[in-house]
Copies of this chain bind each other. A is one copy, B any other.
Amino acid sequence: MTEFSELPTLGILGGMGPGAAVDFQQRLLDASPATKDQEHIPTIAWNHGGIPDRQLALKNLGESPLTAMLHGLKILERSGVSKIAIPCNTAHFWHSDLQQHTPIEILNMVEITVQQILKNYQSGDKVGILATKGALSTQLYQLELSKHDIPFVINSDQEIEQEFMPAVYAVKRNESAQAGIVFQELSQRLIDKGAGSIILACTEIPIGLHAIQSPILDVSFDTTQILADACVNWFYRNT
């Protein structure tokens, strides 16, 4: 067996939100083939909810979260992590800024998710993007899907501002089931617009959908799960 100190460690830049970072850690455990403590992926999770609100920053209504994220990144780097995962889609707007500040690879959840979609993709299939106002406004997923000629549908501005965003903030105050109902309804509207599958492009969404055991999960690309699976594949390929 590999020595304790030689095992690669996964750094988790969390806090966006704190619940999503814990959900991500649970997915890592569940996806892992470990049969005892010593076989699990060593992780260090910096889970600081105090990072300034990403949505406000992207509307120019609040402080940039980048300084706080860099603070967490440096803690992870000093702790000796070999790879970093950020279980927050909107935060990936700052992915390249963060990557410029560290030699450690930061997995790109957006790219990994679109690669996953491409695995069984039939030309012409429309994909629904369920995402925050901030993530949609920065075109994170739209640009990545367009690179691969995948057509997409999104909710209207009004649906996002008046229905989706309040549900995201509801998850953050532990009202996951109520939020799940909203996420399900908005996903259904994307299906009504022609989407054959839905990217859960905010890590609060699966927390809500799982709370109501929504059937939408069966036609979804769950970004939390896809990122966890990528970490599991990385770790067990390297040990």
| Residue A84 interfacial (CB < 8 Å) | no
**Range of interface residues on chain A?**
35 or more
| Residue A93 interfacial (CB < 8 Å) | no
One complex includes copies of this chain to the number of: 2
| Residue A102 interfacial (CB < 8 Å) | no
| Residue A37 interfacial (CB < 8 Å) | yes
Chain B residue numbers with a CB within 8 Å of A16 are: 37
A45 and B48 contact, CB distance less than 8 A = no
A15-33, CB < 8 A from B? 15-19, 22, 25-26, 29-30
B42 and A48 contact, CB distance less than 8 A = yes
| Residue A189 interfacial (CB < 8 Å) | no
Partner of A68, one of B4, B68, B75: B4
| Residue A34 interfacial (CB < 8 Å) | yes
B37 and A49 contact, CB distance less than 8 A = yes
The CA-CA distance from A29 to B49 in the complex, in Å, is 11
| Residue A148 interfacial (CB < 8 Å) | no
Interface string of A132-154 (1 = CB under 8 A from B): 00000000000000000000000
Chain B residue numbers with a CB within 8 Å of A22 are: 22, 25-26, 29
A159-176, CB < 8 A from B? 169, 172-174
The CA-CA distance from A48 to B46 in the complex, in Å, is 14
Give the 4 A-B residue pairs with the shortest CB-CB distance, closest first: A40-B49, A37-B49, A42-B48, A18-B40
Q: A residues touching B (Cβ–Cβ < 8 Å)?
A: 4-5, 7, 9, 15-19, 22, 25-26, 29-30, 34-53, 68, 71, 75, 78-80, 169, 172-174
The distance from the CB of A44 to the nearest CB of chain B, in whole angstroms, is 5
The distance from the CB of A51 to the nearest CB of chain B, in whole angstroms, is 7
The distance from the CB of A135 to the nearest CB of chain B, in whole angstroms, is 16
Of all chain B residues, the one with the shortest Cβ separation from A18 is B40
A42 and B49 contact, CB distance less than 8 A = yes
Of all chain B residues, the one with the shortest Cβ separation from A24 is B22
Of all chain B residues, the one with the shortest Cβ separation from A67 is B4
A47 and B34 contact, CB distance less than 8 A = no
A15 and B37 contact, CB distance less than 8 A = yes
Given contact pairs A19-B29, A26-B26, A44-B46, enumerate 4 new A-B contacts (beta carbons under 8 Å): A9-B48, A37-B172, A42-B50, A43-B47
